[in-house]
């Protein structure tokens, strides 16, 4: 199944796979700023209308908490005490968490998230990654992440969209990131794991392009012990 991002880049429509996590890198600000749609949720567009976390959630959802709402709070490890806090006293990380809560509760089918883990610690990053996978696999949502972090996009995303001014390239993450010329053309920095794999391959060792450090270590061990 596909989704069409209409007039996404200089009037061009872009087709992307639905129910996937899509990474967007390069000149993506214009895309993220121009995106509209009834079924689109954009994290950076969420603004607060009230003074407390509890009032904010109630404002958006009129107190209609469901089983799914409770499950979401569990998935994000949200404590009851969070709801008592005033918004102007929240740290930058907690503000982002609150925005995520509102985004997920809006229940839109396509989500746009710029720099998804900025201001968040590793624990929350892991929980969000699990949630992104759950939302794409179980709820068929499409999650579009904009980031300058190649390591993040390579490890997490199913597909990737590189944008440079009016030009773009879309494809599977494992196909595009191993193309040195493509990365150079779109000014994309190599993920560190790929840097390492390329250094090993230059030695004539046929190390495969893994996306996770644990798989990489196992492959390195097998290659060395051969």
What residues make contact with other proteins under the rule CB under 8 A? 91-94, 97, 115, 118-125, 148-151, 189, 192-193, 195-196, 199-200, 203, 205, 213-214, 216-217, 220-221, 224
- Least CB distance to other proteins at residue 35 (A): 18
Residue 34 or 140 having the CB closest to other proteins: 34
The single-letter DSSP state of residue 190 is P
Q: For 51-77, give one letter per residue: b (16+ CB within 10 A) or e.
A: ebbbebbeebbeeeeeeeeeebbeebe
Q: Least separation, in Å, of the C-beta of 190 and other proteins?
A: 10
Give the chain's end-to-end CA distance (angstroms, integer): 43
By beta-carbon proximity to other proteins, the closer residue of 68 and 195 is 195
Residue 204 tokens read as: 């004539």
In sequence order, which ranges of the chain are alpha helices (DSSP H)?
Answer: 29-34, 53-61, 67-75, 92-106, 122-139, 150-156, 173-176, 180-185, 192-201, 213-225
Q: How far apart are CA 116 and CA 133, in angstroms?
A: 14
Q: Which is nearer to other proteins, 115 or 167 (CB)?
A: 115
**At its nearest, how many Å lie between other proteins and the CB of residue 76?**
12
Least separation in angstroms between CB 67 and other proteins: 26
Neighbours of 39 (CB within 10 A): 13
Residue that has been written with the tokens 């494992």 in this structure: 174
Least Cβ distance, residue 187 to other proteins (angstroms): 9
Q: Output 21 or 188, the one with its CB closest to other proteins.
A: 188
Question: CA–CA separation, 158 vs 187, rounded Å?
Answer: 20
* Shortest reach from residue 204's CB to other proteins, in Å: 8
Using DSSP's 3-state secondary structure scheme, residue 47 falls into coil
Query: C-alpha angle 134/212/130, rounded to 5°?
Result: 15
Nearer to other proteins by Cβ, of 4 and 217: the residue is 217
Q: Based on CB atoms, which residue is closest to other proteins, 47 or 62?
A: 47
Nearer to other proteins, 55 or 115 (CB): 115
Q: How far is the CB of 122 from other proteins (least distance, A)?
A: 4
């Amino acid at each position: 199944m596909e989704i069409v991002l209409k007039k996404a880049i200089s009037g061009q429509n872009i087709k992307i796979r639905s129910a996937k996590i899509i990474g967007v890198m390069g000149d993506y600000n214009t895309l993220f700023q121009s995106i509209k749609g009834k079924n689109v949720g954009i994290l950076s567009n969420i603004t607060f209308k009230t003074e407390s976390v509890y009032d904010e959630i109630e404002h958006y959802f009129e107190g209609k908490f469901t089983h799914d709402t409770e499950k979401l709070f569990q998935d994000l490890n949200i404590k009851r005490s969070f709801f008592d806090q005033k918004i102007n006293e929240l740290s930058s990380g907690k503000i982002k968490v609150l925005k995520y809560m509102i985004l997920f509760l809006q229940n839109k089918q396509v989500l746009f998230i710029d720099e998804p883990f900025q201001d968040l610690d590793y624990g929350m990053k892991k929980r969000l990654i699990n949630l992104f996978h759950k939302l794409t696999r179980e709820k068929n949502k499409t999650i579009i992440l904009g980031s300058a972090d190649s390591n993040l996009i390579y490890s997490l995303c199913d597909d990737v969209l590189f944008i440079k001014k009016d030009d773009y390239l879309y494809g599977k993450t494992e196909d595009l990131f191993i193309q040195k010329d493509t990365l150079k053309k779109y000014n994309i920095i190599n993920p560190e794991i790929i840097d390492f794999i390329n250094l090993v391959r230059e030695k004539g060792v046929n190390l495969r392009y893994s996306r996770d450090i644990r798989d990489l270590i196992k492959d390195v061990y097998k290659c060395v012990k051969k």
